[in-house]
Homo-oligomer: A and B are copies of this chain.
Amino acid sequence: MKRLKIISLVLIVVLFVVGLTVFGKPVKDRDALYQVSVLDGLLKGDYDGKLTLREIRRHGDFGLGTFDRLDGEAIELDGIFYQVRSDGVVQRLSGGIKSPFAMTTFFDTDIEFFVRQESDYRSLQEFIDRYLPTKNIPFAIKIEGKFNYIKARSVAAQSKPYPKLSEVVKNQSIFEFHDLEGTLVGFRMPDYLQGANMPGYHLHFLSRDKTKGGHVLECAINSGKVKIDTIGCFIMALPGSSDFYRLEFSGNLNEISTVENTITK
């Protein structure tokens, strides 16, 4: 009798936990890259928050993005969201805040190697390229390093009617940091995801003491450890908002790379 009671209790607890896993829906494919919305939608000015940080966190502990109304640059590191505001202040954000565009994955290191030679942003990218088995899948990239120089940007919260991102970046804040440690957090995307995302590297920076950061425009890395997470599945959550529904995507998709080159240069 007593034993049965105990067994029942244990079963109930196990069932509860399993139930939570199922119905709490943390669909955990650790190899998946989960993206909120379409990058080309952000470029066209759809800055309204779509998913809360709490929801995004369910799909990964590592990533980047921005916040409701384009309020700064987002870095997700070890499951914590950091906001780099346009005044340069870095702060942790809580789960209820929404993001109009974000990318996240559960970071598991598949490839690891060292940067031992001072490299600028372009050389660093070419160096990493040599270690990748292909350019045809996304990779999550984490670089813990010492940096002689970082040039990063952030953007300010916008008001409706939202201007295009190409207009916003004309007034972006530029930060220059010298001789500091920190982490580059981001992704390398394949060419066929142009539009949905953007081909090539997209990295944000967060200093080791979590006081400095931003969307990386240029860098001089002194030395560092590069960790690569191979992505096996690309998931894009699509907005249901009427603002997104009304966007005009059918224009020239090459506009994306043109605008993004303007942004990252």
Q: Residues on A close to B: CB < 8 A?
A: 1, 4-5, 7-8, 11-12, 14-15, 18-19, 21-22, 27, 29, 32, 38, 40-41, 133-138, 190-196, 199, 231-238, 240, 244-247, 249-250, 253
Contacts and interface: CB of A to CB of B under 8 A. Distances in A.
Given A137-B240, A232-B238, A235-B235, 16 more contacts: A4-B8, A11-B12, A22-B22, A27-B27, A41-B136, A41-B192, A134-B244, A134-B245, A134-B246, A136-B238, A191-B253, A192-B196, A193-B195, A199-B250, A233-B238, A235-B236
Contacts of A193: 195-196
* Among A136, A249, A253, residue most surrounded by chain B Cβ atoms (within 10 Å): A136
Contact of A237 (B192, B233, B253): B233
B244 A136 contact: yes
Contact of A250 (B11, B135, B232): B135
Nearest to A190: B249
* Among A4, A40, A196, A232, residue most surrounded by chain B Cβ atoms (within 10 Å): A196
* Among A194, A232, A236, residue most surrounded by chain B Cβ atoms (within 10 Å): A236
B234 A238 contact: yes
18 contacts: A4-B5, A4-B8, A8-B11, A11-B11, A18-B18, A18-B22, A21-B22, A27-B29, A32-B235, A38-B192, A135-B250, A136-B244, A136-B245, A138-B238, A191-B195, A194-B253, A232-B237, A234-B238
Contacts of A29: 27
Give the oligomeric copy count.
2
Contacts of A133: 245
A236 B233 contact: yes
A249 B21 contact: no
Contact of A235 (B38, B233, B246, B247): B233
Contacts of A138: 238
Contacts of A38: 136, 192
A131 to B, nearest CB: 14
Contacts of A135: 249-250
A51 to B, nearest CB: 11
A23 to B, nearest CB: 10
